[in-house]
Structure 1
Amino acid sequence: MTPNDPIDKGDLLNVIKWAIIGIVAIAIVLAAMAGFGQLNVNNVITLLTILAIALPIYYFVMMLRSSKVTKVERSRVKAYIPLFFAAAIFWGIEESGSVVLALFAEQRTVLHIGSWHFAAANFQSLNPLFIMILTPVFVWLWEHWKKQPSAPGKFSAGLVFAGLSYMWMALPGMLFGTSGRVSPFWLVGSWFIVEIAEMLISPIGLSITTKLAPNAFRSQMMSMWFMADATGQAINAQIVKFYSTDTEVQYFLAIGLVSVVFGIIMFILVKKINTLMEGIH
């Protein structure tokens, strides 16, 4: 196998130049932070958040302006932008299972069912468990559903389910208050709902990324898909600071509502996105 767009010597030197500039720039920023006594974990996380947001923007602009990208490919890149945005929202919620939901498991969940006691960390097994359970179900569904939704339609449904998984977690606080512990089945339900969202977004995203990628940027486009995860987690690293038992209900409701609303907006835009995809489904 050979690369679709092998790099020539001039481009290689340009990449090396900008890599060096980037490393030097980051070193200068870190040195300045240290000089002003601001080199701490929170500020480094903020710097990473900025990079995780800036890099996708840079790559989208670069691909859209590249002379190597045809008119049809440029249209497909434009179609990919809302899919990237949707993926970032989803991953921000899904990956919070190891942060916010882990705190909820530790602080707010009854850690026994009858005489069976378990650790809060055991809830992390729900993600792979539900993936194994749901994967054959969705494989069967996509094989037998003749008029199944397009990729943007599946993404919009995935965003709604992701949002509902968080809104579901607001219910125990609304019903029973936030000072005590609640049934572990609230977390089980939330993980089940968000894994439905993952079935609608993660495998579909991997497939549609390769299909929409410009010929000259296939590797970079696949990197963009994983960058969506990084962007979602980077933003999540900032908003998680607002989570506590006192803000629990508002936190889950607000983030869940944002995801549901964007899912609805994306559903409205499905036809437009499908048009931009230029025959890709």
Structure 2
Amino acid sequence: MTSDAPVHDRPPAGRTFFGHPRALSTLFLTEMWERFSFYGMRAILVLYLTASVADEGLGMGESTANAVYGTYNAMVYLMALPGGWVADRLIGARRSVLAGGVVIAAGHYVMAIPTGWSVFAGMTLIVFGTGLLKPNISTMVGDLYDRDSPRRDAGFSIFYMGINLGAFLAPLVCGFLGEKINWHLGFGAAAVGMTFGVLQYVLGRRNLGDAGARPADPLLGADRRRALTRIGLGVLVLLLGLAALTVAGLFSVDTVVNLLTVATVLIAVGYFTRIITDREISPAERSRMKAYLWLFVFAAAFWLIYDQAGSVLNIFAEDRTDRNTLGFTFPASWLQSVNPILIIIGAPLFAWLWLRLGHRVSTPAKFAVGLVLNGLSFVLMAAAAQAAVGGDLVSPWWLVAVYAIQVAGELSLSPVGLSATTRLAPVKYASQMVGLWFLATAVGDAIGGQVARLAEKWPEPTYFLTFGLASVALGLGAVMFSRHISRLMAGIH
């Protein structure tokens, strides 16, 4: 007796991982260690940049440090686009993940060198390595399930737990070492974490089967040589541009940050234009891409606010909160662990909820909930900032409450958006579409880095209230357009 049900929708045979394919465990653990390294470094980055030279920091102003942080995050996610292309056209997702992990580890080891230049050199390596790893490991998770399976969102939510387990542990380890002992020792701990991730991935590759083993649309012969030549010329032009800025006396942190912000937005516009106007995709795929454009804008607006946790809110934790407990002043970066531990608790609940609701709640509606909750978190943050006016230290529970609201918003939007990306993707752009999802984060972080400059110029309550209410308004707008977006999704729920 045979069945027409997709193979990936059947209960997995043999050993499973929370009832899902065993391969999910390998990808789960690799992502966990990669996120440990990423969030461990991120938890102390702005604090290191703004620390005085006497405290072994770089003595950078808060405005510039916030912009650097936002731009760094943007570049990490922006590189997911070429990283997806490399996997699709050159080496496949599996080898891209391995190469990316090695480069990320190298970047963190460079940051561990106790000199000023090492931080920016290390961040550059991490940007390129994460571009190779991040989109392609998510594509491999998607390969484990049928395209429209109701189990797919649950699988991505479990995978999301790996992200947040690493993100929870990272500030506790790297934050303590960085703030209490030496900044570069904290960066070094992140390097060790990524090394564990690479070793685990190599040892667990036998579980992956055919997932990510081959490029989806490989370049061959003359096409491959032409593409590699263009990449080389692009790198050369970039280096010459940086040299020209240096010779002209225009090379500065602010100049680079501003140029990268503009470039990120323009790349997003160009990429959507290219896909939507591609004559090789079907009318249904084109309609889905128009729907995805709405989701992209909503996601960018979400991350604009959400990812200020490591910059504006991190500085607030350091300067405005009473962190003394039983005579011990805990590191400000430890509060960066609140968000992921709440996600670890909440992710299984949301995985169960989406499985229970099935297709009764649309993807656009889930995005709207995320935007409204994200905005309300900043409204609450405005109240916390008002309580701190005059130099009073406020309870860190304010930030815990803010992060709790943001977590509910993130679980309504982020894993759902990643899953929707793999479902709405035109076949031709499989891995690159996951890169496009991360480009939404890049756009949000790039603009958010510029917006965060205002935190130093505006009164803090005004800053938080303004952008909080803007997010709530956008979320309500998303509700109004949810039916239209669902129709554009052309049968994909």
Tell me the TM-score range normalised by the shorter chain.
over 0.9
Q: 1:133-212 residue pairs with structure 2 within 5 A?
A: 133-145=345-357, 148-175=360-387, 177-212=389-424
Distance in 1 of aligned mates of 2:239 and 2:216: 34
Alpha-carbon distance change, 25 to 125 in structure 1, aligned in 2, over 3 angstroms: same
- Provide the residue aligned with 2:306 in structure 1: 94
Q: TM-score, normalised by structure 2?
A: 0.54
For the pair 1:111 / 2:285, whether they are aligned, the reply is: no
Q: How far off its partner does 1:4 sit?
A: 4.0
Tell me the residue number matched to 1:218: 430
Once residues 225 and 270 of structure 2 are traced to their aligned partners in structure 1, the CA distance between those partners, rounded to angstroms, is: 19
Cα distance in 2, alignment partners of residues 18 and 85 from structure 1: 30
Instruction: State the distance in 2 between where 1:246 and 1:53 align.
Output: 25
**1:36 aligns to 2:248 (yes or no):** yes
- Using the TM superposition, name which of 257-266 and 27-36 deviates more: 27-36
More deviation in 110-119 or 184-193? 110-119
**What letter matches 2:239 in structure 1?**
A
Shift of 1:28: 3.7
Aligned 1:73-92 pairs, distance under 5 A? 73-92=285-304
- Give the CA deviation at 1:124: 0.9
Residue matched to 1:272: 484
Aligned partner of 1:65 among 264, 273, 277: 277
Task: Indicate the residue corresponding to 1:130 in structure 2.
Answer: 342
CA distance change for structure 1 residues 63 and 114 in 2, over 3 Å: closer, same or farther?
Answer: same
Asked if structure 2 preserves the Cα contact closer than 8 Å seen for 1:142 and 1:148, the reply is no
Residue type of the alignment partner of 1:59: Y
Deviation at residue 244 of structure 1 after TM alignment:
2.6
TM-score (norm 1): 0.92
Look up the match of 1:257.
Answer: 469
What SS does structure 1 have at the residue aligned with 2:453? helix
Measure, in 1, the Cα distance between the counterparts of 2:227 and 2:262: 21
Deviation at 1:119, TM superposition (A): 2.0
Shift of 1:102: 0.4
- 1:39-90: per-residue Cα shift (whole Å, max 9, x none)? 0111111122122212221211111111221111011111101111111122
Q: CA deviation at 1:225?
A: 1.0
Cα contact 1:73–1:212 (8 A) shared by 2: yes
How far, CA to CA, are the matches of 1:116 and 1:141 in structure 2?
40
Which of 197-206 and 174-183 deviates more? 174-183
User: 8 Å contact 1:209–1:225 — kept in the other structure?
Assistant: yes
Conservation of the 8 A alpha-carbon contact between 1:165 and 1:190: yes
Aligned partners of 1:93 and 1:162 also within 8 Å:
yes
TM-fit CA distance, 1:156:
0.9
Q: CA deviation at 1:144?
A: 2.5
Contact 1:179 1:245 in 2 (8 A): no
Conservation of the 8 A alpha-carbon contact between 1:86 and 1:159: yes
What is the identity, as a one-letter code, of the residue corresponding to 1:272?
H
Q: Distance in 2 between matches of 1:251 and 1:85?
A: 21
Amino-acid identity (%): 38
> Structure 1 residues 242, 272: closer, same or farther in 2, change over 3 A?
same
Higher relative contact order (CA 8 A, sep 6+): 1
One-letter amino acid matched to 2:346: L
Contact 1:158 1:196 in 2 (8 A): yes
5+ residue gaps in structure 2? 1-209
Partner of 1:51: 263
Counterparts of 1:131 and 1:121 in 2: how far apart (Å)? 17
One-letter identity of the residue aligned with 1:42: D
